[in-house]
Amino acid sequence: MLRFYEKRTWFFSSKSIRDISLVLLGFVIVMCAQAQGGPPPGGPKGGGGPMAGIGLPLGFLEADKDYKFPDDITKYTANDFLMLVRRTDIRSSFYNSDMNATITTVNVSPTRGTFVTKEQIFRRDKDDAFLMLTLEPESRKGQGMLRVDNNMWRYDPTSRKFTHTTLKDTYENTTVTNNDFRRWQRSIDYSVEKLSVGTLGNYKVIIGELKANNDEVPFPYIKMYIEADRKIVLKVEEYSLSMKLLRTAYYTQYVQIGDSFVPTVQIFQDGLVPEKRSQVTYTNISTKSLPDYYFTKEYLERVSQ
């Protein structure tokens, strides 16, 4: 009779367990890469590859590449328009590189008068991350805002405190929201309800009425005016749940940088107080790679001093 420590076990040997573990690990790595849109070709670089993207649905960037849009704007279907919105989302963003720019905002308010702010923004659209530092006015110099991993903080160098903020919050009580500094992803958040054709100034546009896909999108309804020829957004109206116009955004100037079309002049007009408006101008746009530590609270704290 065998003693208890002499009993033979019929489990896998340690070598087999190691081999199985390696196979499982490889499987997990492949699945993770798939979920993230796959590794960038040529290995990781500063700005990441074209297929990466946090918070983007699978195939978001790939499906756009070969999509054939109708030549006649009256022939657009809901799916065509949604793909057009996706095209504008992708082209206004920087998935192949990082981006930094200077933003000058001129705000007009019936109660506060006219005031100007200047910020430096650093964006990594593939990770949906951005860092913004206030340069002007002098009284607010050093204040910052950081979005990373679906969290958003505002930093005040005077109190040295981070406070949690959200994308839907307005920036300094103006008509600009925190969401306006982020990458566009309307094609993810909305579905098409109604389409029509019209003109906006001298441009022929397709007008799409969109409804939010879920109840956590800040604006439940939007109306987009997209110029089909250049495939750029000219105007967006944002509506409340009760269908009242909350804000109108005009994208009056675009600049092409690589594959991206950046709306460099954006005008936001309040729907409830029409006299309240803001003009946001992007200058000194650069697509230079940014170090990873730029998108950390430690860096924001350090650079704000």
Partner 1 sequence: MHLSNFKLHLKLAARNLRRQPNRTIALGGAVAFSALVMTLISGFVGGMDKAIQDNVTLYSGGHILISGYTPSWSGRLQNRFIDDEIAKTVESVIPDVRTVSPLAQARATVVFGTREIQLTLRGVDWTKDELYHDSLILSSGDWEALNEQDRSMLMSSQTADRFGLAIGDQVVVRLTTASGQQNVTDYAVSAIYDDAASGGMTTAFVSFGDLIADLNMKANEQQQIAIFLKDSTDAERAAKAIAEALTEKGYSIASGTSGSEQASQRRMNSEKAVYSISTVQELAGEIGSALGSIRWIGYAVFILMLLVSATGIANSYQMVLLERTKEIGMLRCIGFKKKDVFASFIFEGILLAGAAAFAGIICALPIGLGISFIPFDPHGDFGAALVKGHLRFAPTLDQLLIILVFIMIVAIVAVFLPARKAAEVVPVEALRITA
Instruction: Name the phi and psi angles at 170, rounded to 5.
Output: -75, 150
Q: Which of 154, 153, 119 is nearest to 137 (CA)?
A: 119
Smallest distance from partner 1 to CB 190, Å: 13
The nearer residue to partner 1, 123 or 147, going by C-beta atoms, is 147
Smallest distance from partner 1 to CB 248, Å: 14
The nearer residue to partner 1, 122 or 219, going by C-beta atoms, is 219
The nearer residue to partner 1, 37 or 220, going by C-beta atoms, is 220
Q: Which residues make up the interface to partner 1 (CB under 8 A)?
A: 110-111, 166, 168, 212, 214-220, 238, 240-242, 244, 246, 272-273, 275-276
The nearer residue to partner 1, 162 or 299, going by C-beta atoms, is 162
Smallest distance from partner 1 to CB 244, Å: 4
The nearer residue to partner 1, 142 or 218, going by C-beta atoms, is 218
Smallest distance from partner 1 to CB 70, Å: 33
The nearer residue to partner 1, 202 or 242, going by C-beta atoms, is 242
Using alpha carbons only, give the angle 297, 298, 301 rounded to the nearest 5 degrees.
Answer: 85
Smallest distance from partner 1 to CB 108, Å: 11
Smallest distance from partner 1 to CB 78, Å: 22
Instruction: Name the phi and psi angles at 109, rounded to 5.
Output: -135, 135
The nearer residue to partner 1, 25 or 241, going by C-beta atoms, is 241
Q: 50: cis peptide before it, omega within 30°?
A: no
Contact in structure between 276 and 175 (CB atoms under 8 Å):
yes
Smallest distance from partner 1 to CB 111, Å: 6
